[in-house]
Amino acid sequence: MYLHEVAMDTFVLLQAGWPAGEARQLIERLEPTHVIVHRTEPEDYYYLYARAEALDRLAHAPEQMSIHDAFDLHEYAATPTLEAYASAETAPDRGVVVEEGRVIGVFDVTIPPVAGPKRARPKRGIRYRGLEPGGPVPRSLVTDFPEQVHLEEVVSLLVSLSAESEPGPALPVALPMGTSVDVVVQPKRGFVLEGTGEGSLVITDEEETLPLQFRLKATELGPGKVRVLAFHQGQPLGAITLAPTVVPVAQAVDAQRRSHEQPTASLSVHQPDLSLLILEHESDGQPAFTFRLTALDPGLGLNLKRFGPVQLRMDPLQYCQDFFKDIETLPLRTPQDKAIAEQRLAAKGAMLFERVIPEDLQVLLWSLRDRIQSVQVQSEEPWIPWELCKLQGEEDGRVVEGPFLCEAFSMTRWLPEIGFKPTLTLKKMALVVPKDSGLPFAASERDYVLSLANGGRQVERIPATFLDVRSALKSGEYDGWHFTGHGGFRAPDPNRSAMLLENRQELMPEDLSGVVRNLGLAQPLVFLNACQIGRGAMSLTGIGGWAAQFLRAGAAAFIGAYWSVYDRPAHDFAQALYNCLLAGMPIGQAVQKARATIKPLGDPTWLAYTVFADPLATVQ
């Protein structure tokens, strides 16, 4: 059993530099079972305490004393960090469980797990017999793979659909009979594919389908990682992550094969015209992207059709930081400045299209520009602004430029390992607007969002303090969150980028961990409208870190800006967006229309926003 399967998420994460009084209040309000203290200097250390132990250490500490001093933190006393996909059977008795640098849980054999709020899920173990013809049937995606593999050995990964719901973290959901489930295998660490990495399964009345077989070669000693992604007509259904260990040839291996089960998500009735899956990997020692395109129109013959790979000669995050900094420095004082800025933006979008999109895919997208309306981009990295790629093609031997992707189509993004959430509700919205932001349009935006309240919708102001915001997030009561204020990016860890609250208090993506992840119970739409005062220099917002954390917590949609935008257009964008959404327009189209509304203002704000959602999701 992997650690992430047994780790508790009933913790609260504190920073070592915070005041002891604030830490004590937070623990008392959130009532976690455990407290994790994160120290970042001289390097990352974590310290794990039971709730009572942490409160005891804080009981006599002065209010303004740092947690570091109150707990007397030393490197030698740090709690070990444990990989999420390490074996629970061989783990130490206590540890902080991390996945790709994110804290996801605690492992403590001395304290039994405490049941907390649960997301609504189908009942387990039900076979759903006697369904009407054409009705939904429950199935689960199942994999079978060895726990240990010899270096250079080639082994088979089996993937099938099962009618049984076995004990474990996954739950089956109902899918229509005859539904095709497309499977993509993505080696992440320690393995390479030998042969094809994709295949299809079909929902039938059999107890278990014949498995797909994929061959993987072990190439690197140590913990490996293989991801199995599932789709239907380009829609993400979920993912399974396998973590086999690669051992030397001379070492005996455990012949046991581990079976994993993962729920497949409910399918949306409507599907986008194009779904573009972008997978990051290494090619000849360089970071690279491979693209897989699916079209709703079967006549196009596109179902996870492969394009690429495209090799990147630079670090994607660094490239995007430089890309946005170039936009930030564009002068916009005069009409001529704005005209020049428009041309420079067009050139940057065209260059991005040329550099990151394979040539044959460029040609195809250009040919389809008048035949499609909605586009969904699914990528694991949230940094590259795919929305800002500018279409171009050739006509009569001349290069012709088209619109930006987000201008041409109702375009959204998503993370491929998370199933779509096609419905938004907005029945109980939370509004966070710091009183001391100094933003001229903040009060107007606040009043507008408050005006959205009616007989069927509540809008509640949450005091813009760290304690109040985290407490409200933890409650899981709000299906809409609107933040207005300042944001900032902190390299190299985007999970420490900040939204400024009142009195310069900061909320960071890593604060959305532990019990605060209950924010996802209501599957909210989250809108971070990070603004700036006047025409000063803009700053990056690290929006990718926010998007990933909110979506993994269970948010149905996330909207934010790649860089800190100007106050007036940000206000107008928000108003246009909500007007369209609440009139019944799908979110992808609503964002497209909101961009067009503020484009005439003449600054880059209309291109700044990124949206993670099902593009056809509507407010019910």
Backbone angles phi, psi at 12, to 5 degrees: -125, 140
Band of pLDDT at residue 495, cut at 50, 70 and 90: low
- 3-state SS, one letter per residue, for 66-130: EHHHHHCCCHHHCCCEEECCCECCCCCCEEEEEECCEEEEEEECCCCCCCCCCCCCCCCCCCCCC
**Do 385 and 438 fall into the same domain?**
no
**Do 432 and 385 fall into the same domain?**
no
The tokens of 279 are what?
């997978």
**Separation between Cα atoms, residue 546 and residue 551, nearest integer Å:** 9
12 burial type by CB count under 10 A (0-12 exposed, 13-18 middle, 19+ buried): buried
In a domain, 522, yes or no: yes
In a domain, 434, yes or no: yes
pLDDT tens digits, 25-42: 999 999 999 999 999 888
In a domain, 129, yes or no: no
Strand order through the sheet with 245-247: 148-150, 245-247, 222-223
**Separation between Cα atoms, residue 31 and residue 516, nearest integer Å:** 11
DSSP letters, 464-533, are SSHHHHHHHHHHT--SEEEEEE-EE--SS-GGG-EEE-GGG-EE-GGGS-GGGGGGGGG--EEEEEEEES
* 542 pLDDT higher than 60: no
* Residue 459: CB atoms within 10 Å: 19
**Do 570 and 598 fall into the same domain?**
yes
* 353 pLDDT higher than 80: yes
The more confident residue out of 230 and 125 is 230
**Do 603 and 463 fall into the same domain?**
yes
In a domain, 378, yes or no: yes
Sequence-ordered list of residues with C-beta below 8 angstroms from that of 595, at least 6 positions apart, any chain: 406, 407, 573, 606, 607, 609
Mean of pLDDT values over 407-421: 90
Structural domain boundaries, residue 357: 289-414
Mean of pLDDT values over 553-564: 89
Cα angle, residue 225 at apex, residues 149 and 234 outer, rounded to 5°:
125
Beta bridge partners of 459: 429
**Separation between Cα atoms, residue 482 and residue 451, nearest integer Å:** 13
Q: Note the pLDDT of residue 87.
A: 84
pLDDT tens digits, 31-79: 999 999 999 888 889 999 999 999 999 999 999 999 999 999 999 999 9
* 332 pLDDT higher than 70: yes
pLDDT tens digits, 381-408: 767 889 999 999 998 889 999 999 999 9
Range name among 166-180, 282-296, 351-365, 480-494 with the lowest pLDDT average? 166-180
Band of pLDDT at residue 171, cut at 50, 70 and 90: very low
Tally DSSP H helices, then E strands, for the chain: 14, 38
Q: Which of 108, 127, 149 is the last residue of a domain?
A: 108
Range name among 117-121, 181-185, 381-385, 471-475 with the lowest pLDDT average? 117-121
**Do 234 and 358 fall into the same domain?**
no
Q: Note the pLDDT of residue 589.
A: 96
Contact 345, 352 (CB under 8 A): no
**Do 97 and 142 fall into the same domain?**
no
In a domain, 116, yes or no: no
State the sign of the Cα–Cα–Cα–Cα dihedral 432, 436, 439, 443: positive
Contact 395, 293 (CB under 8 A): no
**Separation between Cα atoms, residue 21 and residue 556, nearest integer Å:** 34
**Do 342 and 473 fall into the same domain?**
no
The more confident residue out of 207 and 136 is 207
**Separation between Cα atoms, residue 587 and residue 412, nearest integer Å:** 9
**Do 253 and 318 fall into the same domain?**
no
Q: Note the pLDDT of residue 165.
A: 59
In a domain, 124, yes or no: no
Number of domains in the chain: 4
CATH number, domain containing residue 439? 3.40.50.1460
CATH number, domain containing residue 24? 3.10.580.10
Q: Which of 392, 414, 436 is the last residue of a domain?
A: 414
In a domain, 535, yes or no: yes
Contact 293, 377 (CB under 8 A): no
The more confident residue out of 538 and 607 is 607
Backbone angles phi, psi at 227, to 5 degrees: -110, 135
**Do 50 and 174 fall into the same domain?**
no
Q: Note the pLDDT of residue 288.
A: 85
**Do 397 and 435 fall into the same domain?**
no
**Do 193 and 61 fall into the same domain?**
no
Count of CA atoms in the C-beta half-sphere (13 A) of 240 = 28
**Do 431 and 462 fall into the same domain?**
yes
Average pLDDT, the chain: 85
Can you give the pTM of this predicted structure?
0.86
In a domain, 442, yes or no: yes
